[in-house]
A and B are shown apart, each in its own frame.
Chain A
Amino acid sequence: MSIKQISVFLENKPGSLYAMTGVLAQNQIDMRAFSLAETSDFGIARIIVDDVYKTTTVLKDAGFVNSVTPVLGVAIPDVPGGLCKVLQVLTNAKVNVEYMYAFLGGKTVDHAYMIFRVEDNVIASAVLAEQGIKVVEQEEIDKL
């Protein structure tokens, strides 16, 4: 019921993001989603990729500290109020969202995807499923 997100520690200085994406490019890794959180001296890049194991290995070899976190992927209809409805469900279930970011599914699908980092993926996906909101699996992301 979750997607594997890779978080990468980056120094907040020119070239560090470039260096990380360079490693991914050299190893033919395809990113599905990308989000960046930062403070004045460091940042965390959060990425969803097509090959988790390979990505963590090549990043580690290149000296990037990283960790894998299970996150929730939710398909959101590309219509007004789509995100609002999902958040309403989570709010009613008192699920706290630590962070979230969106990405588009591409030309073949008519919805966007939202990545949620919550405390308990099981509870969150259960309440969403009850309301008919589609929680996507790793395979679906991999196929995009």
Chain B
Amino acid sequence: MERYYQPEIECASREQIKAWQDQRLVKQVRHVWENVPYYRKKMEEKGLTPDDIKSSDDLHKLPFITKADLREAYPYGLVAKPLKECVRIQSTSGTTGKRVVAFYTQHDIDLWEDCCARAIMAAGGTDEDVCQVSYGYGLFTGGPGLNGGSHKVGCLTIPTSSGNTERQIMFIQDLRATILCCTPSYAAYIGETMKEMGLTPDQIPLKAGIFGAEAWSEEMRQDIQNTLGIKAYDIYGLTELSGPGVSFECSAQTGMHVNEDHFIAEIIDPDTGEVLPEGAQGELVFTSITKEAFPLLRYRTRDICTLTREKCSCGRTHVKMSKPRGRTDDMLIIRGVNVFPSQIETVLLNHGYAANYQIIVDRVKNTDTLDVQVEMTPEMFTDNMGEISRRQKELVDGLRSMLGLAAKVTLVAPKSIVRSEGKAVRVIDKRKI
């Protein structure tokens, strides 16, 4: 039996959804026009006033917002509410080490948690469930978002956060957790560890998992489902828009329903910016129509996917997006963390290394690995092994503090990094996703 958190919204007619979007978009455009000079300027540059946006049919007239805008407006430039009305920030890494900081009013958090609650109930969750949230808590949106959603559903929530796999398994077993929320690679790792401990799927109390924040393949879904004996659901989101729960999978497992009462999704041609018809593959663009503190109009996600409004067997009427099939920029998602090659380059240069490096990303036993290969230079070389190892460790620490991620650093011989057409290939992504 399909469960809904807000059935009247999730299964509303397309006309009703359009009516919500029309009304909320018009209101949102006026809100940013009046409160965010940055937006007003961008609109004025296109000769627009709020009166030009009469319904969601006029959305395409609005200028795009990109990560570059977020960086330029950092930290307060896009905040649309007085700070005294904001109660929280969450943050994710930006392109050049400058972080993206998103602001929330209490109302924003409330709606975000509703979105997460919809995802948990779509995965079969009820107030009888024990929901273990093994996403990181803190600046990362994964933990706080699913934690809030789990509360709203009424699940007994176990806020384990990420890491300490032994303890994760102890709680799953001892407190009989039925729903697991984490990145798919961490779910796979927990599954592998339980298997090594001799646990068979029928001995594991889990029945469902809500896994997101990184790309995962259908094969990986099958692996996780088989090892843990669960049904694995995808969830999608961006800190810029709120966090997880922008869209989520239902029992059909054929795409993620976008919460269209809060976000309008468009697919555009990444080169021309032109809106593409339903079913076409292109860059996903979102407009948040209910966010108060940090509203984004036509935010370019850089994720490549498709949208479909075909009737879904789950009964939900909201548009479905496919799993992202790639990116239009060079951002990597490693163990759920956004990584830009430029961030790694910044760390290398700060530590006195030359910009001769290569980033090798792989997935070993369903866990992402990041290996930064750096060419040794005469300046960095000494006959003292301990000294070289010490500098290597400093670099590892520097990368961890910049990326929030453990990376391996390998020192390689000069000129050993292959240069094609004189330009080094910076990233080798060996993951099969």
Q: Is the CB of B385 within 8 A of A9?
A: no
Number of interface residues of B (CB under 8 A): 18
Q: Is the CB of A9 within 8 A of B389?
A: no
- From known contacts A9-B376, A65-B376, infer whether A41 and B411 are also in contact, taking CB-CB under 8 Å: yes
A67 to B384 CA separation, bound complex (whole angstroms)? 11
8 Å CB contacts to B: which residues of A51-108? 63-67, 69, 98-99
Partner of B383 from A11, A39, A69 at Cβ < 8 Å: A69
A63 to B356 CA separation, bound complex (whole angstroms)? 14
Neighbouring A residues of B378 by C-beta, 8 Å: 65-67
Q: Is the CB of B384 within 8 A of A98?
A: yes
Partner of B385 from A16, A39, A65 at Cβ < 8 Å: A39
Q: Is the CB of B410 within 8 A of A41?
A: yes
Q: Which residue of B lies closest to A7 (CB)?
A: B383
A16 to B89 CA separation, bound complex (whole angstroms)? 51
Neighbouring A residues of B376 by C-beta, 8 Å: 9, 42, 65
Q: Is the CB of B383 within 8 A of A63?
A: no
Neighbouring A residues of B416 by C-beta, 8 Å: 11
Q: Is the CB of A11 within 8 A of B381?
A: no
Neighbouring B residues of A65 by C-beta, 8 Å: 376-378, 381, 413-414
- Assess whether A44 is interfacial by the CB under 8 Å rule: yes
Give the shortest distance, in Å, between A26 (CB) and chain B (any CB). 18
**1/0 per residue B355-394: CB within 8 Å of A?**
0000000000000000000001110011111101100000
Number of interface residues of A (CB under 8 A): 21
Neighbouring A residues of B388 by C-beta, 8 Å: 42, 44
- From known contacts A39-B389, A41-B410, infer whether A67 and B415 are also in contact, taking CB-CB under 8 Å: no
A16 to B413 CA separation, bound complex (whole angstroms)? 9
A65 to B380 CA separation, bound complex (whole angstroms)? 9
Neighbouring B residues of A39 by C-beta, 8 Å: 385, 389
Partner of B413 from A11, A37, A67, A69 at Cβ < 8 Å: A11
A99 to B414 CA separation, bound complex (whole angstroms)? 25
Give the shortest distance, in Å, between A78 (CB) and chain B (any CB). 27
- Assess whether A5 is interfacial by the CB under 8 Å rule: yes
8 Å CB contacts to A: which residues of B388-425? 388-389, 410-416
A99 to B410 CA separation, bound complex (whole angstroms)? 23
A95 to B416 CA separation, bound complex (whole angstroms)? 39
A44 to B414 CA separation, bound complex (whole angstroms)? 14
Neighbouring A residues of B411 by C-beta, 8 Å: 9, 11, 41-42
A11 to B415 CA separation, bound complex (whole angstroms)? 12
Q: Is the CB of B382 within 8 A of A63?
A: no
Q: Is the CB of A10 within 8 A of B385?
A: no
Question: Of A41, A64, A69, which is in contact with the most chain B CB atoms at under 10 Å from its CB?
Answer: A41
A7 to B389 CA separation, bound complex (whole angstroms)? 15
Neighbouring A residues of B389 by C-beta, 8 Å: 39
A46 to B382 CA separation, bound complex (whole angstroms)? 11
**1/0 per residue A1-13: CB within 8 Å of B?**
0000101011100
- From known contacts A39-B389, A65-B378, A67-B378, infer whether A9 and B413 are also in contact, taking CB-CB under 8 Å: yes
Question: Of A10, A65, A66, A117, which is in contact with the most chain B CB atoms at under 10 Å from its CB?
Answer: A65
Neighbouring B residues of A37 by C-beta, 8 Å: 385
Q: Which residue of A lies closest to B383 (CB)?
A: A7
A88 to B377 CA separation, bound complex (whole angstroms)? 38
A41 to B46 CA separation, bound complex (whole angstroms)? 55
Q: Is the CB of B385 within 8 A of A63?
A: no
Give the shortest distance, in Å, between A133 (CB) and chain B (any CB). 23
Neighbouring B residues of A10 by C-beta, 8 Å: 413
For the complex of A and B, list the 5 residue pairs with the smallest distance between their C-beta atoms, beginning with the closest. Answer: A7-B383, A69-B383, A65-B381, A9-B376, A37-B385
18 contacts between A and B (CB under 8 A): A5-B383, A7-B382, A7-B383, A9-B381, A9-B411, A10-B413, A11-B411, A41-B411, A42-B410, A42-B412, A46-B383, A64-B414, A65-B376, A65-B381, A66-B381, A67-B378, A67-B381, A99-B385
